[in-house]
Amino acid sequence: MFTTNPFAELSASLSPVLMQAFVAVMIGLVVGGTLFDIVHKKSARYFFDNWRKANSKGTSQVGSGKIASLAVQTAVVEGLTSGEFCNARRRIAHLLTMYGFLAYLAATVVMVFGYPTPATPTPTFLPYLWIIGALLVCLGGYWFWFFIRVDVAAEGNSPFRIMRADLFILSLLASVSLGLIWACLQSTGSTWTNLLLGLYLIATTVLFGSIPWSKFSHMFFKPAAALQNRVENASGFRSNLPAPADKPEIFGSARRQPRHY
């Protein structure tokens, strides 16, 4: 299992073209769902309106060089290290899930399109990357779901209490977990393989098809909001956005953990 491309093995019973078409549809759902979310919630209009206010009402002008520098800071602090999280456990769980999902997703796309059949031998590191990425998602996601969530850790609610806001994390965990189980059963020749494959595809469709109603698109909005906030602060414009993650003085001499965390 650890050195075998599960999608290449699947080609014995399912055309690689169908697998590639499914992945292409999922990519289309991400693009379409995100654009719909932006239009429906008017997020882009909100950001551009605030950007114009910062330029017109700020005490200083922010040049293109400064904006580029702020963009790099945003990518490093909020993007690569999730510096917006004050709670260390929450931050670690988020990073495990984020990097695990990126590795899992990249390996999936490369294996489906680049090595769709056993006739095109898959480099050994790709199945390893796929499995390790999936395990990181499970580690970070289940840790968050059962032990870190605010309504569980702070309010004492049952971890099985589900709300619409949980759609993203639950569909992500379901998709990745079922994918791992399916790959394992396929490698052993189990009679349950087809059933798990069907469940895996359903969970994956829910994950990428529910973007307008889940928090999936937040991964695109959060960096944009963080960059906008940095530009506003640099211009001297007072915004209602949260303070940048690397400005601890806003919380006092030492950053205090927000109460809702």
126-149 pLDDT tens trace = 999 999 999 999 999 999 988 887
Output the DSSP codes for 59-128.
Answer: SS---HHHHHHHHHHHIIIIIIS-TT--SHHHHHHHHHHHHHHHHHHHHHHHHHHH--STTSPPPTHHHH
CA of residue 35 relative to chain centroid, distance: 16
Q: How confident is the model at residue 260 (pLDDT cuts 50, 70, 90)?
A: very low
CB contact at 8 A, 103 and 133? yes
Of 257, 221, 216, nearest to 89 (Cα)?
257
Q: What is the DSSP string of 148-194?
A: I-HHHHTT---TT---GGGHHHHHHHHHHHHHHHHHHHHHHT-TTHH
SS3 14: coil
Residue type, 173: L
d(CA 4, CA 19): 17
Give the mean pLDDT of the chain.
80
The answer to whether residue 192 scores a pLDDT higher than 60 is yes
Q: What are phi and psi of 209, to 5 degrees?
A: -90, -10
Chain position carrying tokens 């359903």: 202
pLDDT at 5: 95
Query: What pLDDT is recorded for position 231?
Result: 73
Whether residue 71 contacts residue 223, with contact meaning beta carbons closer than 8 Å, is answered with no
The residue-averaged pLDDT of 211-217 equals 76
Residue 120 Cα distances to 11, 14, 112, 182, 210, angstroms:
12, 16, 11, 22, 34
Query: Of all residues in the chain, what percent carry a pLDDT higher than 90?
Result: 43
Q: What is the pLDDT of residue 252?
A: 33
Q: Which of 123-137, 164-178, 193-207 has the lowest mean pLDDT?
A: 164-178
Split at pLDDT 50, 70, 90, the class of 6 is very high
Pairwise pLDDT comparison (161 vs 125), residue with the higher score: 125
Handedness of CA 172, 160, 88, 84 (dihedral sign): positive
Work out the number of other CB atoms within 10 angstroms of the CB of residue 173: 20
- Asked whether the predicted pLDDT for residue 50 surpasses 70, the reply is no
What's the CA gap between 246 and 210, in Å, rounded? 33
pTM (two decimals): 0.78
State how far the Cα of 105 lies from the Cα of 66, in Å rounded to an integer. Answer: 33
Q: Work out the percent of the chain whose per-residue pLDDT is above 70.
A: 73
Q: Note the pLDDT tens digit of each residue in 51-67.
A: 666 666 666 666 777 77
